[in-house]
Structure formats: structure tokens, C-alpha cells
Amino acid sequence: MHELDGWTLLTILGMTAISVITRGFFFISEREWTLPEWAERGLQYAPIAALTAVIAPDILLTEGAIGPLLRDARTWGALAAAGFYFWRRRSSYVLPVAIAVGMAVFLPLRVGLGW
Amino acid sequence: MNMPLPPDPGELPARGRLGAWLSRRVDRWAHTARHPLFWVGSREMAGVSIGLTAWAFMTGVAMVKSGMSITESVLMSLLVFAGSAQLAAIPLMAAGAPLWVVLAAAFCVNLRFVVFSLHLRPYFMHLRRSSRLYLGYFTGDVTYVLFTRRFPRPPETNGQRRAQMAYLWGGNVTNWVFWQSLSMLGIFLGAALPARWGLEFAGTLALLAVACSMVTTRLRALSAITAAAAAIVLFELPYRLNIVAAIAVAVAISLYVEPRWPRGGEREGARHA
């Protein structure tokens, strides 16, 4: 419970460096400079791609294959959260409430029905 | 307003130099915190923090539920201090992905900060490099949004510089305290709740909600769908390389399609953590 794995520590330190580098990316150099044009355009699309690439397998795959999606608590939880988000996207607390709605659908199905 | 400073540190023995350095730091901090805008920034941040606390709590639960020890989770929260990058890295670490894949995913999730830093550059360039990086590290999504909304222009006089730094630090300190306390609460409560509930799914839902908030243009929606499909089709790749490959495919396709699609919504930065 309190052990500290060397590999995990290395990952944590690497991620700390990434926090510093990305948040201070244009503060590092004193000179005025910009990214190449294609990289600047690419910045628009990479973050959302990274997020959906990480979550899609976590939501849709069961042991490496697409399982019975309709009998899976994760499918309904994710649909509820996304549905709520787009229904109420203007309100200021939509993010945490969307997560709560998703979990409110997910937990009864997972704990109650074992989906 | 300033307290008298101790003599030149060069004349003092080692312990005295440490004391002089510390007293200078404390004095600089007090100087910032005495500025009225420090408390304005702090209050405005506290108003937004209710949403963030739920977020921080979820990140704490997700870390400890993914099999990380309490020590590791606490260290990650205190050092990395980046909710969505942590949430993205957690399942990859649990699956035993190699270090560079975890870091590449964290880097891509954090790329929005690169855009923020370009915007903040003229505001920060009056500081030394180390101070710029230090301040940048503590400036999260919400403080960035509040700061640039209150100060549409970079500072020109020393008074403006001081006011802006005070406001920003007020927000940053509040943000840090809220974030870390709720993250710790999530870590310690999460460790006590049963694994059968699958609470780590809250982390997945949190990332899903952020992804939804980033769908501001049709091309971003395309990027999201392409990346999701590619990550599933390429799931058999070893070391969870499917993540990196899916990002590359999605960005390449979006860049290819961009000049060919009639322009939908204009570019807009994502605003959530």
C-alpha cells in the first residue's frame, strides 16, 4: 500500500518534466520564435485525439475485443455522460455533473446487474 | 511597504546566507500577497473551484484504483499536477505500457498548455527564465482563462506588472490548495472503497467529458472519431502503441482534410482541465 516502484517513480518524474515543459514551452527561449505552420495547425487536433484514443478502448473493449455493448454498464454510462454534456453544454458546472450522471447510470448496472 | 532586508548575503556565513535567502523569499511573497488583487484573484478562482474539486477528487480515486500505491498516488498528484494528463496516463501505466508511450500520451493531452504559453509569453517575459517556468508550471487551465480575461493586454508599467502577478498568484495558490486537498481526499477515500464497483470508470468519464468540451469544430469531431476508431482497430499493437499511432493518424487526417472542408467554426482554445 505504501511501496514505491522505481518504474512508476520514473514515470512520475517524466510526467512532471512534461508539465513544466508544456506549460512553459514558449517561455524557455528569450528569442521571439514560433512553431512551423503545420505544427501549429496540428495543435488543434492532437489533444482531443489523445483523449479519445485513450478512452475508446477502455469503454468499448472487453479483453481486447468488442463485447456485447448493449449489456455493458460502461456503454450506458458513457452515453449518459456524453448525452448530458451536449444537452447542458452551456451551464457552468456541466463537466462534473456529466461525470456524476454517467456514474449514476454505470454503478447500478455494474454493482446491481453485474454488467 | 518593504521590510528592511538583511545585509548583503556575501558577507554572511552559510547559515546566515540561507536565512537571508529565505527572508527575501518570504518578503517577496508577503509583498505579492499584500496586493489587493491577490485576494481578488483568489476569490474569483474559489468561485470556479467547485467544479474543479469534483475533478481533483476523481483523479485521486482513479490513481489509487488503478493499482498505484498511496505513496505513488500522492507523489504523482503533488509533482505532476495535471489532471487530464494523469487520467490519461493511469490506464496506460496500469497496462504496463513503456515509459515513452505514457509520456507521449501525457504530452499530447498537455499540448493545449503550449498554446497558452504562446499567449502568456508577453505577460511573463519581464521575469527571469526560472521564474517564468515556475510561474508557468503553477498556471492551470482555469487560472489562465481568468487571468487573460481580466488582463487582455500585457503589462507596460511596473505597477501593472505587480498587479498582474498578484492576481495570477492569488488564483494559482487557491487553485493549488483546492486541487491538492481534494485529490488527497480522493486517494485516501478511494483506497477504502471496494474494487468491484469499478470506480476507476469515473476517470474514463472525466476524460470523455473533457473530450466533449473540446468538440468546438467539425474537424475536431473528425479528429476524435478517427482517433477512437484507430485506437480500437490497432489495439493488437504491443506496448499500447495504438495510442500514439491513433494520435498520429487522427492529426494527419485532420491536417489533410482541413484545407478541403468548407470552414465550419473558427479556431477556439479548449477551456477545461
Quick: pLDDT tens for B11-39: 777 788 888 889 988 998 888 889 999 99
Res A1: pLDDT: 57
Res A15: pLDDT: 96
Cα-flanking dihedrals φ and ψ of residue A66, to 5°? -70, 120
Residue B52 and residue B81 in one domain? yes
Evaluate if residue B219 carries a pLDDT over 70: yes
3-state secondary structure chain B: CCCCCCCCHHHCCHHHHHHHHHHHHHHHHHHHHHCHHHHHHHHHHHHHHHHHHHHHHHHHHHHHHCCCCHHHHHHHHHHHCCHHHHHHHHHHHHCCCCHHHHHHHHHHHCHHHHHHHHHHHHHHCCCCHHHHHHHHHHCCHHHHHHHHHHCCCCCCCHHHHHHHHHHHHHHHHHHHHHHHHHHHHHHHHHHHCCHHHCCCHHHHHHHHHHHHHHCCCHHHHHHHHHHHHHHHHCCCCHHHHHHHHHHHHHHHHHHHHHHHCCCCCCCCCCCCC
Residue B250 and residue B183 in one domain? no
Domain-located, residue B266? no
pLDDT class for A94, splitting at 50, 70, 90?
confident
Residue B183 and residue B220 in one domain? no
Residue from the list B58, B250, B255 with its beta carbon closest to the beta carbon of A38: B255
pTM, to two decimals: 0.77
Evaluate if residue B48 carries a pLDDT over 80: no
For residue A22, give the nearest of B119, B79, B133, B121 by alpha carbon: B133
Domain-located, residue B271? no
Evaluate if residue B192 carries a pLDDT over 70: yes
Domain-located, residue B121? yes
- Domain range for B113: 32-197
Residue B150 and residue B237 in one domain? no
Res A18: pLDDT: 95
The number of folded domains in chain B is 2
Domain-located, residue B270? no
Domain-located, residue B209? no
For residue B141, give the nearest of B38, B64, B210, B222 by alpha carbon: B210
Look over chain B and give the mean of its residue pLDDT values, rounded to a whole number. Answer: 85
Evaluate if residue B147 carries a pLDDT over 80: yes
Evaluate if residue B199 carries a pLDDT over 50: yes
Domain-located, residue B17? no
Residue B172 and residue B138 in one domain? yes
Residue B251 and residue B161 in one domain? no
Residue B70 and residue B189 in one domain? yes
Chain A residues inside the 8 Å CB shell of B229: 56
Evaluate if residue B1 carries a pLDDT over 70: no
Residue B225 and residue B125 in one domain? no
Residue B69 and residue B174 in one domain? yes
Domain-located, residue B128? yes
Residue B106 and residue B229 in one domain? no
The alpha-carbon gap from A64 to the nearest alpha carbon of chain B, in Å, equals 7
Residues 60-79 of B with CB under 8 A from A: 68-72, 75-76, 79
Evaluate if residue B55 carries a pLDDT over 90: no
| Residue A44 or B175, more confident | B175
Res B227: pLDDT: 94
CB A16, CB B80: distance < 8 Å: yes
Cβ <8 Å between A102 and B236 = no
